[in-house]
Structure 1
Amino acid sequence: MEAVFENQGGVARSISDAPPAHYTLKIQLFSLLVNTSGQKYESAEFEAGGYKWKLALYPNGNKSKNVKDHLSLYLAMSNTSSLRLGWEVYAVFRFFLLDQNKDNYLVVQDAMSKEKRFHGLKLEWGIDQFLPLKAFNDASNGYLVEDTCVFGAEVFVVKERITGKGECLSMIKDPLSIKHVWRIDNFSKSDTECHESKVFIAGDQKWKIQLYPKGRRLGSGSHLSLYLAIADPTTLSPASKIYAEFTLRILDQVQARHIAGKGNYWFSTVSNQETGWARFFSSSYFNQPGNGLLVKDVCLVEAEVTVHGIASAF
Structure 2
Amino acid sequence: MAPEPVMEVKIPPRVDLAEITRSTRDLPPAHYTFKIENFSLLANAKIDNVESGDFQAGSYKWRLRLYPNGNKKNNGDGHISLYLAFSNSNALPFGWEVNVNFRLFVYNQIQDNYLTIQYAKGRVRRFHGMKTELGFDQLIPLTVFNDESKGYLIDDRCIFGAEIFVIKPTGKGECLTLVKQPVIDTYTWKIQHFSALDQESYKSQVFSFGGHKWALLVYPKGNSTEKGKSLSIYLVMEDFETLPCGRTTYAEYMLRVRDQLFGKHIEKKASFHFSNSIKDWGHLNFMSLDDVNALPKGFLVNDTLAVEVQIQVTTVVKEFS
TM-score, normalised via structure 2 length: 0.45
TM-score, normalised via structure 1 length: 0.46
